[in-house]
């Protein structure tokens, strides 16, 4: 309804960001079929359906942006379902960029590293400390740092950028 409301109000859409995500840190043995299904549904299927619904409302020059993850690029132990869903976003993004490019519509993905969010607050302190040791800047990123890349990708500054995965890590 939010997409429909915006499209009606602005006579089409200039951009869209798909940013939903859940993670269940479990070994592959402990991951249930329901865990996998829920993760894929939230992280991948919802973005597919969002793009599909928004497609007829996209104006020439519009920008679709989907939030993937570094884990979708390199994997992570105890996160196979999450990694699969976020890797799916990357393939989806590249395919949509090819499909919609002839209409002058761009589609890109952002692959954040460790970003301090409600989702990462659930991790224990030892895990967070271990993770930040491997980060060159020795800190977690902020959601505003991901939002800044969304602003770039959604603006005319990126008018010739499509089908890309931008790391924010």
Active site residues: 82
Cα–Cα nearest to 111, from 90, 94, 127, 130: 90
List % helix, strand, coil for the chain (3-state, nearest 5).
55, 20, 30
Tokens of 76: 């992570």
What is the distance between the alpha carbons of residues 141 and 131, in angstroms, rounded to a whole number? 12
What is the distance between the alpha carbons of residues 109 and 68, in angstroms, rounded to a whole number? 6
User: Which position has the token pair 């995965």?
Assistant: 165
Tokens of 136: 């060159």
Cα–Cα nearest to 65, from 47, 83, 49: 47
């Amino acid at each position: 309804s939010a997409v429909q409301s915006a499209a009606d109000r602005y006579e089409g859409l200039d951009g869209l960001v798909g940013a939903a995500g859940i993670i269940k840190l479990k070994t592959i043995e402990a991951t249930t079929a329901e865990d996998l299904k829920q993760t894929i549904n939230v992280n991948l299927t919802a973005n597919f359906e969002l793009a599909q619904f928004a497609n007829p409302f996209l104006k020439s020059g519009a920008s679709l942006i989907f939030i993937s993850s570094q884990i979708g690029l390199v994997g992570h132990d105890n996160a196979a379902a999450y990694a699969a869903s976020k890797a799916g976003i990357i393939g989806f993004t590249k395919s949509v960029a090819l499909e919609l490019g002839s209409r002058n519509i761009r589609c890109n993905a952002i692959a954040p590293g460790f970003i301090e969010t409600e989702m990462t607050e659930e991790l224990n302190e030892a895990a967070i400390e271990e993770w930040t040791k491997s980060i060159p800047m020795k800190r977690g990123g902020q959601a505003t740092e991901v939002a800044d890349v969304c602003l770039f990708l959604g603006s005319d500054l990126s008018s010739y950028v499509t089908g890309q995965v931008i790391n924010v890590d």
